[in-house]
Amino acid sequence: MNAYKHVVQYYETDKMGITHHSNYIRWMEEARIDFLRQIGWDYARLESDGIISPVVEASCRYKKSTTFEDEIFITVAVKEYKGLKLVLAYEMKDAEGKTVATAESEHCFVDKGGKLIRLSKEFPEFDKALGDLISEE
């Protein structure tokens, strides 16, 4: 799996020139979209199949500041998946390989009407793709 690369934009920084903390959550979404594309389940496919995957929880631990034009490489791994709930782990590193943040997001799967979907029954291919990626950490 390839890491997602994000270059810190000027508008993402605060008056002190440091990336505002809220942007890391946005980067997680960018990396998650890229991750799903890499495993063959991009958002266009999910939406056309009627799958919506809302975030139900997100957390981020900041380790090192980033600034304008820093290159941030974000890896995404499936930490936990049990058919109804997906937990993704993120590690964000700078160009030198130093960890700038670690994070997690938790998701469920619902149809367009908001009803929970059990992927193993309704979308077994997607269920298998996620299950095969559970990290052993």
Calculate what percentage of the chain has a pLDDT beyond 90: 94
Closest CA to 36 of 21, 52, 25, 23: 52
CATH code linked to domain 4-131: 3.10.129.10
DSSP string over 51-73:
-B--EEEEEEEE-S--BTT-EEE
Task: Tell me the average pLDDT across 70-77.
Answer: 98
What token pair was written down for 57? 């929880």
Residue 70 confidence (pLDDT) = 98
Active site residues: 14
What is the residue extent of each domain of the chain? 4-131
Task: Look up residue 133 and give its amino acid.
Answer: L
- pTM > 0.85: yes or no: yes
